[in-house]
Amino acid sequence: MKKKAKDKDARLPKVFVLRWGHRHRDQRLTSHVALAARALGASGFVMADIADNKVRETVEKVTARWGGNFSFEMGGPWKQVVKEWRTKNGVTVHLTAYGENIQTSDVMQRIRATRKDVLVIVGSQKVPGGFFSEEVSDFNVAVGNQPHSECSSLAVFLDRFFEGEELSKDFVDNAEMKIVPQVRGKKVVKV
């Protein structure tokens, strides 16, 4: 049973998240985006162009306590991250309110049909125009064509990409603690 689940995972494309445009005043927001990436099935997070140890500490502390394999990198120039990703034959998805609507278009099917690993690019409100070009994004995807948040957009994208299965994912590898779901109250056990 466990073996089967692993084999299945091995076939699933991996998703990494590239955060563009982080500023120190965004510490809490960027931490939330990274934690959403981890909890919703992404394999790692790259904070481009800038290093922020506060964010790194928050994310690494959560991963150390609650487990799973989630990589965290920061500081690399975004163009280089995108270039290397494409060299490795992955596709890039830019989340933007201006893109193809994830609900009313077939963009998710087309992304899945590539069967490739995905780098999801999330920016702040004003990203360089180049993000929309073929040099950067294979797909421009809108989680609805209304402005909201990179954190909420990413969450819905991942939930749909993984078809909800990410939420039953087992994080016990390397975990210290595990939550046991309850109708009321909190239950946490050591792993």
Residues contributing to the site for its own copies (CB under 8 A):
25-26, 28-29, 32-33, 35-36, 38-40, 62, 66, 68, 97-105, 129, 132-134, 137, 140, 142-149, 151-156, 159-160, 164-169, 171, 178-188
* Closer Cβ to its own copies, 60 or 88, answer by number: 60
The C-alpha atoms of residue 77 and residue 79 are separated, in whole angstroms, by: 6
User: For residues 119 and 82, what is the distance between their CA atoms, to the nearest angstrom?
Assistant: 8
Distance CA 79, CA 48 (A): 9
CB of 20 to its own copies, least distance (A): 16
What is residue 157's three-state secondary structure? Answer: helix
The CA distance from 10 to 122, in Å, is 25
- Residue 70 backbone phi and psi in degrees, to 5: -140, 120
Q: How far is the CB of 143 from its own copies (least distance, A)?
A: 7
Task: State the minimum distance, in angstroms, from the CB of residue 179 to its own copies.
Answer: 4
Nearer to its own copies (CB atom), residue 86 or residue 160: 160
Nearer to its own copies, 48 or 143 (CB): 143
Nearest residue to 130 via CA among 15, 30, 20: 20
Report how far residue 71's alpha carbon sits from residue 18's, in angstroms, rounded to the nearest whole number: 12
Query: For its own copies, which is the closer residue by CB, 14 or 76?
Result: 14
Q: Shortest gap between Cβ of 42 and its own copies (angstroms)? A: 11
Choice between 2 and 25, CB closer to its own copies: 25
CB contact at 8 A, 178 and 189: yes
CB of 49 vs its own copies, minimal distance in Å: 19
